[in-house]
Structure 1
Amino acid sequence: MLLSAPELLKEESRSVVVRAQVRGGPVPVVILKHFRDDLVCGLDDQAGAEFLTRRGLELGPRFLAGDVDARLFVLEDLGRGRSLEELLRGEDARAATGGLIATARLAGQLHARTLGTQSEYELIRQALPPRHQRVRVENARFLLEHEGRLLRWLAAVGAQAAPGLHEDLEAVARTLADPGPFLAFTHGDLAPGNVLFTPSGPRLLDFEYAGMRHALYDALMWLVTVPLPDELVARADITYRITLSAQCEAAQVDSAWTRARATVALARTVNLFQWLHPRVLEEDREWAPGLSERAALLHHLARCRSLLAPVEGFPGLARTLETLEARLRERWNVPPFVWPALREME
């Protein structure tokens, strides 16, 4: 098999991605991924693609081969297409809306079809240079070990933590570490730029943060992370829930569903305050293209508050975040972010 006509697609500190034509091989075009600096992310990416391929799930690019020593693996090329982010930044509201709903359905299919497969995934991942800790345990530990970063924000705005904050964080961390019936294989970075619409349908790209964790971790994309109209969030949520419910009985129970959404939303909102430094109080910077750090923080707080409303529990954490939100809104008057394709829906 000979490769020709290489095309550089991405060159970052973490990885290099090249498309190449194949002479005499089983597929006409392949994608080569070389992970340079972050071995864990590179191996998680490779393991995720190999896992889906072995299970026959055509939800991402098909894994073809890998060489750990070379830090290189090969994928089938999905062809050219538009990402969900490109649809949202376009002018076609119908295409953008349909793209988001299709993404929610795709995530539901991914999770429904990988419930209870943690042993199979671990066999693939640990056959590579093994991970010393499961990704869901890493997520839980980060939440607890960096509680001080949330307290730093409270001090910076002259607020105090509500009683029970630490206990609520521990409860959220326990669920992250042990999601029970919601444990599934997750993409881990379900951003609009990582969903590609191909002639065969939507496909997921880049599994660098993939692993077995709470299924709704991926649903955070529309629930919390990406600013979207409430109507569209509701449509994505019900589409995802219906798809996941085909295999997950817990997703059929309203109380379990609302608590699961609130739990992952709390974790992600606290994480954002752990990732960002209070210097944002003095200087706003870009968090994602077109979205500032201040806008992201306020959006996360508002969405988290909405998802917590129907849930009993987490009173200390809920009151702490409500106080933080009130103090930040006193300081900031940030216009909400609106995707170009969805302006008429706002």
Structure 2
Amino acid sequence: MLLSAPELLKDETRSVVVRAQVRGGPVPAVILKHFRDEPVCGLDDWAGAEFLTQRGVESGPRFLAGDVAARLFVLEDLGRGPTLETLLRGEDARAAHGGLIATARLTGQLHARTLGTQSAYELVRQALPPRPERVRVENARFLLENEGRLLRWLAAVEAEAAPGLHEDLEVIARTLADPGPFLAFTHGDLAPSNVLFTPAGPRLLDFEYAGMRHALYDALMWLVTLPLPDELVSRADITYRITLSAHCEAAQVDSAWARARATLALARTVNLFQWLHPRVLEEDREWAPGLSERAALLHHLARCRALLAPAEGFPGLAPTLETLESRLRERWTVAPFTWPAFRQEDG
């Protein structure tokens, strides 16, 4: 197999990604990924693609080969096409709606087909230079070890934590570390730019943060992270839940579903306050293209509050975040973000 016509797709500190044409091979083109820095992310990316390929799950590009010493692996080239971000930033509301629903369905299929496959995944991942710790345990540890960063925000707005805050964080951390019936293979960084629409349907790219964790970790994209029309969020949630429920009995139980959504929404909202410094109180900066840090914080708090409404529990964390939201809204007036595809609808 000979490679020709290399095309540089990405050249960042962490990795270099190249597309190359194939002469005399089983596929017309391939993607070569060389991870220079953060080898754990590179190996997680490799393991995710190899694991899905072994199981015949067509959620992303097929894994073809790899060389650990060279920090290089080769994937099937899915070709060119729009990403979900392209659709959201376009002018076709119907295409953007359809793209998100298709993404929710694909994500549900990925999780449904990988429930209970932890041992199979670990065989693939640990055959490579092993991870120091499972990704879901890392997520749980980060939440607990950085509680002080949340308290720093409360102090900055002259608010106090409600009794039971720490205990609620421990409950959430335990769920992250042990998701029970919701344990599935997750993408881990389900952003609109990582969803590619191909002639065969949507496919996920870049599994650098992939691993076995709570399935709804990926669903946070539409539940919490992205500012989206409420009706579209509901449709995506229903589509994802129906798809996952075919293989997950817990997803069929309303109380369990409400609890799972609230738990993951709380974890992500707390994480955002742990990632961002209270200097945002004095200076707003861009968090994502077109969305400021202040807007992101307020959006997360509002979505978290909505998802907490049908769930029970969290007597310490829920009122703490409500107080924090109230104090921030007193300080900030932030215009809501609307994706270009939906601006005509809002108008």
TM-score (norm 1): 0.99
**Deviation digits for residues 286-335 of structure 1, max 9, x if unmatched?**
00011000000000000000000111100110000000000000000000
Amino acid at match of 2:12: E
- 1:171 matched to which residue of 2? 171
How far did residue 2 of structure 1 move? 1.3
Which secondary structure state, in structure 1, belongs to the residue aligned with residue 303 of structure 2?
A: helix
Whole-Å Cα distance in 1 between the matches of residues 129 and 283 of structure 2? 42
SS of the residue corresponding to residue 82 of structure 1 reads: coil
Give runs of aligned pairs for residues 254-293 of structure 1, distance below 5 A: 254-293=254-293
Question: Aligned runs of 1:112-123 on 2, under 5 Å?
Answer: 112-123=112-123
Deviates more, 1:24-33 or 1:178-187: 24-33
Q: Deviations over 1:71-91 (max 9, x none)?
A: 000000000000000000000
- Hey, what does 2:86 align to over in structure 1? 86
**Deviation, structure 1 residue 208:** 0.2
Distance 2:197 2:308 in 1: 33
8 A Cα contact 1:3 1:21, kept in partner = yes
CA deviation after TM superposition for structure 1 residue 184, in Å: 0.2
Residue number in structure 1 paired with 2:144 = 144
When the two structures are aligned, how many residues end up with a matched partner?
346
Unmatched runs of 5 consecutive residues or more in structure 1: none
- In 2, Cα distance between equivalents of 1:210 and 1:312: 30
- SS of equivalent residue, structure 1 residue 224: helix
Per-residue Cα deviation, 1:31-87 (whole angstroms, up to 9, x for no partner): 000001110000000000000000011110000000011000000000000000000
Alignment of 1:246-325 (within 5 A): 246-325=246-325
> Is the 1:220–1:265 Cα contact (8 Å) retained in structure 2?
yes
Alignment of 1:41 with 2:41, yes or no, is: yes
Identity of aligned residues (%): 88
- In structure 1, the partner of 2:99 is 99
Q: How much has 1:25 moved relative to structure 2? A: 1.4
- Secondary structure (helix, strand or coil) at the match of 1:228 reads coil
Q: CA deviation at 1:23?
A: 1.1
Say yes or no: does 1:125 pair with 2:125: yes
| Alignment map for 1:214-229 (pairs within 5 Å) | 214-229=214-229
Q: 3-state DSSP class of the match of 1:7?
A: strand
Aligned partner of residue 30 in structure 2, secondary structure? strand
Give the match for residue 134 of structure 2.
Answer: 134
- Matches of 1:327 and 1:281, distance apart in 2: 11
For 2:2, the equivalent position in structure 1 comes to 2
Indicate if the aligned counterparts of 1:229 and 1:345 stay in contact, CA closer than 8 A.
no
Alpha-carbon distance, 1:339 to partner: 0.2
Q: Secondary structure at the match of 2:73?
A: strand
TM-score (norm 2): 0.99
Unaligned residue ranges in structure 2 (runs of 5+): none
User: Is contact 1:224–1:304 with CA below 8 Å preserved after alignment?
Assistant: yes
Deviations 1:169-195 (A, max 9, x none): 000000000000000000000000000
Q: Return the alpha-carbon distance in structure 2 between the equivalents of residues 92 and 26 of structure 1.
A: 36
TM superposition shift of 1:132: 1.5
What is the CA distance between 1:345 and its match in structure 2? 3.5
Task: Give the 3-state SS of the residue equivalent to 1:8 in structure 2.
Answer: strand
2:32 partner letter: L
Q: Which residue matches 1:187? A: 187
CA distance in 1, matches of 2:306, 2:260: 14
Q: Deviations over 1:95-122 (max 9, x none)?
A: 0000000000000000000000000000
2:126 partner amino acid = Q
Aligned twin of 2:329: 329
What value does the CA root-mean-square deviation take over the aligned residues? Answer: 0.5
2:231 is aligned with 1:231:
yes
Contact 1:169 1:317 in 2 (8 A): yes
